[in-house]
Structure 1
Amino acid sequence: MDGISKTELDRLEARELVKNAAPLRPRDAATLILLDRNGDDVLVLMGRRHMKHAFMPGKFVFPGGRTDPADSRIKVADELHPDEEIKLRAGTGGVSIARARAIALSAVRETYEEAGLLIGRQGTFQTTKADWQGFATHGVEPSLASLRFIARAITPPGRVRRFDTRFLSAWRSDVAVELPDGGPTNELEELVWLPLADAVEADIPAITKSVLGDLRQRLEVDPTLKPGGDVPFYRMFNQRFRRDIL
Structure 2
Amino acid sequence: MDGMTKAEVDKIERSIIAHSDRPIRPRDAATLILLDRKGDDVLVLMGRRHAGHAFMPGKFVFPGGRTDPADSRIPVAAALHPEQEARLIAGPGRISAARARAIALSAIRETYEEAGLLIGRKGAFATVRPDWQGFAEHGVQPSLDMLRFVARAITPPNRVRRFDTRFFSAWRDDVAVELPGGGPTNELEELVWLPLAKAREADIPDITRMILDELQKRLAHDPLLRPGGPVPFYRLVRNRFTRELL
Aligned counterparts, 1:79-158, within 5 A: 79-158=79-158
The one-letter amino acid paired with 2:97 is I
Match for 2:210: what amino acid? S
Distance (Å, rounded) in 2 between the aligned partners of 1:152 and 1:19: 22
TM-score if structure 1 supplies the norm length? 0.98
Distance in 1 between residues matched to 2:160 and 2:58, nearest whole Å: 15
Deviations 1:40-92 (A, max 9, x none): 00000000011111111111000000000000000000110000000111111
Is the contact made by 2:20 and 2:160 (CA closer than 8 Å) also made in structure 1? no
Q: Deviations over 1:203-240 (max 9, x none)?
A: 11111010000000000000000101110000001111
- Partner amino acid, structure 1, of 2:123: G
Match of residue 29 from structure 2: 29
Structure 2 unaligned regions, length at least 5: none
Q: Please tell me whether the aligned partners of residues 16 and 159 of structure 1 are also in contact (alpha carbons under 8 angstroms).
A: no
Give the SS at the match of 2:15: helix
Instruction: Flag the 1:238–1:204 CA change in 2: closer, same or farther, 3 A.
Output: same
Amino acid at match of 2:35: L
Q: How many percent identity over aligned positions?
A: 72
Equivalent residues, number = 246
Q: Report runs of 4+ in structure 1 exceeding 4 Å deviation.
A: none
Cα distance in 1 for residues equivalent to 2:189 and 2:94: 34
- Following superposition, the deviation at residue 19 of structure 1 comes to 4.4
Contact 2:50-2:58 within 8 A present in 1 as well: yes
Q: What corresponds to 2:162 in structure 1? A: 162
User: Do the aligned partners of 2:63 and 2:114 also contact (CA within 8 Å) in 1?
Assistant: yes
Distance 1:3 1:192 in 2: 34
Q: Give the structure 2 partner of residue 221 of structure 1.
A: 221
For residues 19 and 113 of structure 2, the distance between their equivalents in structure 1, rounded to whole angstroms, comes to 32
With the length of structure 2 as denominator, give the TM-score of the two structures: 0.98
Computed over aligned residues only, the root mean square deviation of the Cα atoms, in angstroms, reads: 0.9
> What is the CA distance between 1:20 and its match in structure 2?
4.8
The answer to which of 86-95 and 11-20 deviates more is 11-20
Structure 1 residue 157 displacement after superposition? 1.3
Separation in structure 2 between the aligned mates of residue 82 and residue 17 of structure 1, nearest angstrom: 35
- What is the CA distance between 1:188 and its match in structure 2? 0.4
Does 1:57 find its partner at 2:57? Answer: yes
Stretch moving more, 8-17 or 204-213: 8-17
Change (3 A) 1:19 1:42: closer
2:10 aligns to what SS in structure 1? helix
> Aligned runs of 1:152-231 on 2, under 5 Å?
152-231=152-231
Post-superposition offset of 1:189: 1.2
* Contact residue 54 and residue 160 of structure 1 kept, 8 A: no
Distance 2:3 2:139 in 1: 46
